[in-house]
Every structure is written in structure tokens, then in C-alpha cells.
Amino acid sequence: MKNLFTLIGVMGLCTAAHAQTETDSIHPIRMDQVVISANKFNESKKDIAQPLQLITRQETEWAMPQTTASLLEQTGNVFVQRSQMGGGSAVIRGFEASRVLMVVDGVRMNNAIYRAGHLQNIITIDNNLLESTEILYGPASTLYGSDALGGVIVFNTKNPVVSGSSKTKVSGNAMTRYSTANHEKTAHVDLNLGLKKIAFLTSVTYSDFDDLRQGTFRNPFYGSLGLRDSFVTTIDGVDNIVANDDNNIQKFSGYNQVDVMEKILFRPSWRISHTLNLQYSNSSNIPRYDRLTDMRNGRLRYAEWYYGPQLRMMGAYQFHAHDLVGFFDEIKAGASYQRIQESRYQRSFKSKDLQARIEDVDVIGYNVDFRKEMKKHELTLGTDGQYNKVKSTAHIENVNTAETTPLDTRYPDGGSNMLYAAVYGQHLYKINSKLVLNDGVRLNYTSLKSKFEDQTFFPFPFSSAEQNNLAWSGNLGLVYMPAERWRFAANSSTGFRAPNVDDMVKVFESTAGGNLIVPNPDLKPEYTYNVDLGINYIVDNTLKLEASGFYTWFRNAIVTDKFTLNGADSVEYDGKMTAIFASQNKARACLYGFNAAITAQLMPRVTLYSTINFTYGRYFNAADKETPLDHIPPVFGKTSIIYREKKFTGEVFALYNGMKRLKDYSASGEDNLAYATAMGMPGWYTLNLRAGYQVHHRISAEVALENILDYNYRVFASGLSAPGRNLVVTLRGNF
């Protein structure tokens, strides 16, 4: 492994490039890509001080990802954790889940019940519809508000296209894919109907995944890692533990999903457009694979543990006007509604009681953004907000009789409401051809109210909890381009995350510690303060070197610790005295790291791309004790060589992770040491091949052989082993 990383480092950082132009390179060697995430309007990437990565539609299709989480993973710059195959929790600079903001078509996905652990919500975004994906590294709360501590992932889906004439224009795309590691069967079709001033884009994708097969070639030091020797099956109403015929098949990891989108564009003039965006995503039950492998008293603990269907519905209207006469040159305004349903079902081995906890979240949002260009200045002003309504229900069902009885809810049974509202200003000052100043400020208001109605399970001396918070954030950056080849960027920014329903009013008894976790209305926002330094060097469109480093101070971090109610540190609960815990702003932390990348045209039609990422994080509690911070990935990256000609594209690439040692695991449990080895999580690498051929100007075929060596490995903090050798075949057509 050490020799592999040495080789990759030499390839990635010391390669000399000698060639002509980049032609159709998947990894472009230029600085002037147009992005929208940095200022909410079209902007040249070279003028943005904050580190940013753009994933184009071409790159997305070439990656052939099964889910959008897989797409991010294949960049080599975003770490992805999985507790089940139907998931994928993105980690940016050591921040994960509720501390990373996701936005789709200008609408924030993070809602009031996003937790700080691991999330699977990203799979509800259909990667087959993505026009582009933009990743902002580091705090971005000035533009995007709460939750943007580690960064923001902005997903932009395809837009309808009008014909612009009296003729009706009909076009479409179709794709089908099969993968051997989990017998994936995916089919996608999208159809664009374009009239003179109105257009309709309809898209449908269906995916079915069978149980995932892990790699068979095992490191002899960790030979049993991930083996699925047995599983629980129910025969005539009786739970039985049976042997697995193939212990490399991860039984009960499969699921299926459907994604539908309808976009309607009305363009009465070339300056004005109205867009209605309807999205629907729903899955089957998704087995929580890691829990299904948990052991208790020498046998499997659970007979069933699964998430119910992961439902996301969105309806959004967007108004866009540009090239206006007046104070503002461009305006975007929108309103949105989202409906999210999540549920958890679990039943212990030999138990008849299936516990069900169901969460329904309704989210109403708005945004108004204005842009003005004044000679060397670009000013963006805006306001946005969201209202979250959370309903939580729970019951126990007898699997034999179907009789139901009450169960404590995950969140307050009387409901919870959370409001976000903000105003912001973002400014770009092109001082001269060499200097660009970025600055901005945001004022955010949040409120949260919850009611506890049935106190049978939790007899607290209160029936409600609420909080109100004001939070400031800002950014200041400078881009310096002394010559055509060089670009230097320095950026400072702050991020904040307002405590949400999951932080403040989640109430439950911790079975691990026997502690009662109670609400804490005094919670305040978490903050990050970040500094970035970056350098880019380009030679004649044949070589691009990039390096950036960051240092982040994390303050008022929310942790769970001992607490008191009415002066008491314990209460009588379920007939016994139980210690009281609550989420509190008690920790501070520091994180730092770097990214280095090279894109080089080695010869005509051959391009090298390599990237490597390092993150280090420690937090300090009230006693100033230093311990490892959770969610910190090991060293990871990607190296690839791509060959392109008119009809053929080929790529050989490696994905790799370093070892996560036991001493670097967090004590919080979020790093899931239980699913690793006694020494931590071993390092790994995979060798992969990919090829595509343009059979016809409307038909193309792609084939990939992933994890060629059939290496058995597990990504850090994951409870599911990665796919073994995997043959992927994709056919695409358009008309």
C-alpha cells in the first residue's frame, strides 16, 4: 500500500506534460468555466476565491454512477460513507450530514430533521437528469445560510428547450445499464417537447438493485472483514438463523427506486422565463445492512431493520429575468414546496413486535435574488426563507396478529415548526485584470417550536420547547492573477448551523448508556471560521497544477453531554433513576488539510488526472481534552489516464484510501468502529477500466470493469463492504 501511494504521488505531482491542445478532455485544462453556485448567477470560475469544483453532464455520464452518491465518490475529492447500499453520506473537509448543505435547482434539501450522523437523502436526486453539479469547499453560509459548515453541493438538472419558431421540436434521450456486482437494472428516458414559447421536459428513471456482492480477494490480516456467514429468515412465523450459501453476498442489501421529473418552461420573450419544476422520488424499503449484521449474546440481534420508502416530492416555481433596464440587470425569484417522508422499522430476533417510527416533513420556501453590474463591480442582493413542519408518529405492530400499540416517537408527538429567514449581500470587485475581490455578509433568523402532548413515555416538567436565534456570517477573499499562467486565491469565510429539530428536541432513552436524552431550548448555532489558500498553474492548455490548503476553527459545536432538569441530574424513568443528557454547545474543534491535483495532456488524445486529499481534525471538550473529531476521512484520491479519439474513449483509473487507525477514531461512535477491524479500517485501492464507443451519431455504448482485482475492502465508517469485481454495461441513445 505504501508503495502504491508513493507511485500515485509521483504520477500526480511530478509528471511533465508535453502535447498539443485539450480537444475533448473530460477534465478541462482551463480556469474560465462558468458556474452559478458561487454568486447564484453565471460567473467565471477564475474570479471566485472559494475553492469550487464543477462536474459537467459529460463527466456525469462518463462515470456511469448507480446513484448520485457514487458520482461524488468518483470525483476523488468527496468522501462517501455508507451504512446500507441505498445510501451515501457525503463528507466534505471532515463535515458530514447536517453540516453539509445540499441544494437542487436552487432549493435547499436540508430540512429540520437532518441529523449529524449519516444520511441517505442524496440518493433521491436522479443523476441521469443532472446538467451540472457544483461543489463549494468550505463554509458558504453567506449565500446559502444554515448548514453550510463544510461546504455546499449544488445540483442543477436539465432544462426544457423551446423551439423558438412555429415548428414543434421533439427530442429525447434514453439509457439502460446493467451491473454484475448487484445485478443492477436501470432504465432512463427523458423527452423534450419544444414549442415556440413553451417547452416540456419529462423524465423517468427506474433502478433495481439486488444484494451486493463484495470482493473475494482478502488481505490475510483482515480475512473475515465483511463476511456474511448467516442471516435471519422467518419461516411459518418463526425466526431462524440460516447459513449463507455465499458469504460474499451481502444478504438483504438490495432495493429499488423510481425518479420522475416534469419541467415546464414558458418564455414569453428572450429576457423573461417562467419554470415549473416537479420532482418525485420514491424507493422500496431499504434494509439497514449494518444493523442486520449486529450481534448480541453470540447471535444476530435483529430479524428486521429497514428504512421505509424514502419519499421526496418537490414542486418549485422559478422566475428569471435578465438584460433588464433599471437598477437591477437580472432577477431570480422562486417559491417551492417539498414533502419528505422517512421511517424506521426494527424487530429484534425472536420478537413479535415490529417498532415503526414515521416522520413527515412539509417544507415551504422562497428566494428572491437581484444582480447588478456596475463597471468593475458586481453586486448580488437577496432574501430567502423556509418553513418546516414536522409530524412524528410511532407504533408497535405484532407481526402475527397485526395488532398495534403505542410507541414513543422520535420527535415531539405534538409537532415541530422551524423557520429560516435571511437577507444577504454578495459583492465582486474586479479591481483590474490581475485582482478580484470577493466579499459578502448575511443575517439569518431561525426559530423552532415543539410540543409534547403524550407524556406517557417521557414525563417531563414541560410540554413545549422553543428557541430563537440570530446568526451573522460573512466572507472575504482575493484572487490574484499576476500572469496568464498563474492564479493565487486567499479566502476567509464563516459558516453557521442553527440547531434543528433533531438537535434540540429529539427525545429518547439511549440503550447503549441507559441515559435519558432530553430537549435543550438554550442551544445556539454552531460556527466555523475558515481560511483557504490556493494556487493554480496552467501551461499552454496542456498542464494544470492545483493545490489548496485550509484551516477551520469549529466553535460552539453541539455535543451530547450530562445535563440537569430543575436542578436535578437524574429523574425517575421506567421505575428507576436515570441520568439526564442533552445536546449542548460545549465543544470546539480545529480541522486542517489540503488538496492537490494535476491535469496533464501527456500526448495528443491522452490526458492524466490525479487528485489527493488529506484532512486532520481534533476537538476539545470543556476540560480542554483533545480527542479525534468524528467524520474525518483518511487520505483519499483518484488517478486516471484517459485516451480519446473521434468515436472512442478509454480510461484506466485507480481510487484509493489510506488506513484509518484505531487511535484516530472518534469516541462518539459516529465512525462505526464496530464495523471495522481491531486496528481500524485498512487502506485500499481499486484498479478500474472504462471504455465508450460512438456506434452511431445517435447511439453509444459504454463498458466498465471496476475493481478488476476483486479486492475486498470497506470504506471508512461504512457498515457495508464495497462491490467486488463489477462489469457495467451501458447503452445510450438520443433522437
pLDDT of 171 = 96
User: Burial, 667: exposed, middle or buried (Cβ in 10 Å; 0-12, 13-18, 19+)?
Assistant: exposed
pTM: 0.93
**What is the Rg, in whole angstroms, of the alpha carbon atoms belonging to the chain?**
26
Q: What does the domain layout of the chain look like in residue ranges?
A: 2-734
Closest CA to 287 of 719, 606, 681, 691: 719
Burial of 633 (0-12, 13-18, 19+ CB in 10 A): buried
Q: Cβ distance 127 to 156 under 8 Å?
A: no
User: For the structural domain made of 2-734, what CATH number should be given?
Assistant: 2.40.170.20
Provide the pLDDT for residue 13.
Answer: 35
Closest CA to 65 of 52, 51, 48, 78: 78
> 481-520 b/e with 16+ CB inside 10 Å = b?
beeeeebebebbbbbbbbbbbbbbbbbbbeeeeebbbbbb
Q: In Å, what is the CA distance from 281 to each residue of 32, 46, 89, 257, 293? A: 34, 35, 18, 7, 28
Q: Strand, helix or coil at 597?
A: strand
Q: How far apart are CA 12 and CA 470, in angstroms?
A: 45
Residue entry with cell 433588464 = 324
Within 8 A by CB and 6+ apart from 715, the residues are 79, 80, 81, 82, 657, 681, 722
Cβ neighbours of residue 605 under 8 Å, at least 6 residues apart?
A: 23, 643, 644, 645
What are the grid coordinates assigned to 338, written together? 417539498
The answer for residues whose C-beta is within 8 angstroms of residue 374's C-beta and 6 or more apart is: none
* Cα 603 to Cα 254: distance, rounded to the nearest angstrom: 43
Task: Determine the distance from the C-alpha atom of residue 82 to the mean position of all C-alpha atoms in its chain, rounded to a whole number.
Answer: 11
Q: How far apart are CA 732 and CA 264, in angstroms?
A: 24
Please give the distance of CA 655 from its chain centroid, rounded to a whole number.
19
Question: Do the strands 377-398 and 404-406 form a parallel or antiparallel pair, or are they unpaired?
Answer: antiparallel
**DSSP tally for the chain: helices H, then strands E:** 6, 47
pLDDT value, residue 566: 76
Q: Nearest to residue 718, comparing CAs of 89, 218, 27, 274?
A: 89
Give me the residues of the chain with pLDDT under 50, please.
Answer: 1-24, 511-512
How far is residue 275's CA from residue 616's CA, in Å, rounded to a whole number? 43
State the Cα–Cα distance between residues 89 and 98, nearest whole angstrom.
10
Q: What phi and psi, each to the nearest 5 degrees, are found at residue 734?
A: -145, 160
Task: Specify whether the CB–CB gap between 562 and 569 falls below 8 A.
Answer: yes
Answer yes or no: are the C-beta atoms of 98 and 108 closer than 8 Å: no
CA 441 to chain centre: 25
Spell out the residues 6+ positions from residue 575 whose beta carbon is closer than 8 angstroms to its own.
none
Q: What is the DSSP letter of 214?
A: B
Q: How far apart are CA 151 and CA 103, in angstroms?
A: 11
* Residue 473 CA neighbour count, 13 Å, CB half: 32
Q: What is the pLDDT of residue 670?
A: 85
